[in-house]
Each structure stands twice: as C-alpha cells, then as structure tokens.
Structure 1
C-alpha cells in the first residue's frame, strides 16, 4: 500500500513537471512548430495526390514567406516528406510533426 502511494506521488510530480515545461516554450517555438506541421501536411497532400517532388519545389518557389528562414525550411520539410515512405493522411502528419517538434524544443532547453 505504501509503494502504491509513493508511485502515485511520483507520477503526479512527473506530470506536474511536464506541464510546467510545456508552459516554458516560447510563443515563437509554438509558431515555428505549427508552421512546420502545416508545411509537412501540405507536402504530404501533394505527394499523395501524385505531384512530383520537382513540381512541389516549383510550387514552393512561388510562395511569399514572412520570415527569411521559412523558404529553406519549407524546402527541407517537403524533401523529407517526399523521401518518407509514409502514406498517412495529411492530418496525421500535421499532428505527429507538431508533437515531435514540441518534444524536440523541450529537450533542447
């Protein structure tokens, strides 16, 4: 019984620490992850519809980006998406990219 109590306390402390860490992310980090997730979802959508990587790159060239880093990041995300063998729906790609990005940002802190 005592061990169960200790385990519950340890789990609650770990859960509390995770929520505190989630709050420590800057708004810019969340924006970057959200933007990247949207880019990955669009790339997956193009891939699944049969658009070639070359055509997807050309499409990216026509976009106007708000920040200087976005163009090269979009190219990289698109290439990685096309290199992947995944046939998952774009919504799944968006969610997994966002979650992985947040985990990465938290791990760097």
Structure 2
C-alpha cells in the first residue's frame, strides 16, 4: 500500500512540475511542443499498426500544414519514431515527447 501511495504522490509532483515548466514557455513554444507530440504519437500508432515508414511518409506528404517548416519536421519526427525500437503506446510517446520538448525549450533560454 505504501508503494502505491508513493507512486501516486511522485506522479502528481511530476505533473505539477511539468505544468509549471510549460507555463514558463510562450504560447507558441507550448503549441509547437503539443504539435510535435501529436505527430510522434501518430507515427507510433502507425508503426504499431503495421504501416510501413514509406506509407507513413506518404500520408504526411499529402497532408496540409499551416507552416512551411512543419512538413519536414513531421517527416523527421516520424522517421525517428520508426527508427526507435520502442513499443510504447502512442499516449506514452506523446507524453514523453512533450516533456522532452518542454525541457529542451527551457534549456535553450
């Protein structure tokens, strides 16, 4: 029982810490991190469902992106996701990507 309570408290503290870090970012930085995490989660879902990297790249090529840099960035994120041996669920990939993006953005300051 004590271990599970410790895990809950630790997870809560991590969530509060990440929320505070994310608030230190600009709205644009938060938006870019959310967008990238969505792309990573989608790539992981495609990978786990058996879609080839070629197929995933083809889907991104026909997709409309609001900014010119987004297509190449999405292709890079997708390729990195496919090259990873990870079998984590897309939600876990999304969370991990977002956390690392926030840390990276804060470290650049």
Whole-Å Cα distance in 1 between the matches of residues 75 and 27 of structure 2?
23
Q: Superposed, which structure 2 residues align to 1:1-109 within 5 Å? A: 19=20, 22-109=22-109
Q: For residues 10-42 of structure 1, give each alpha carbon's deviation from its aligned partner in whole angstroms, at most 9, with x where no partner exists.
A: xxxxxx9x94x5433110000000000000000
Contact 2:40–2:81, Cα closer than 8 Å, also in 1: yes
Q: SS state of the match for residue 68, structure 2?
A: coil
Q: Equivalents in 1 of 2:27, 2:57: separation in Å?
A: 29
- Partners of 1:75 and 1:60 lie apart in 2 by 7
In structure 2, C-alpha distance between the alignment counterparts of 1:22 and 1:82, rounded to whole Å: 27
Moved over 6 A (4+): none
SS at match of 2:88: coil
User: Is the 2:25–2:106 contact (alpha carbons within 8 Å) kept by the matching residues of 1?
Assistant: yes
Structure 2 gap segments, 5+ residues each: 1-16
The two structures have a TM-score, normalised by structure 1, of 0.80
Q: Secondary structure at the match of 1:39?
A: helix
Q: Tell me which structure has the larger Cα radius of gyration.
A: 1
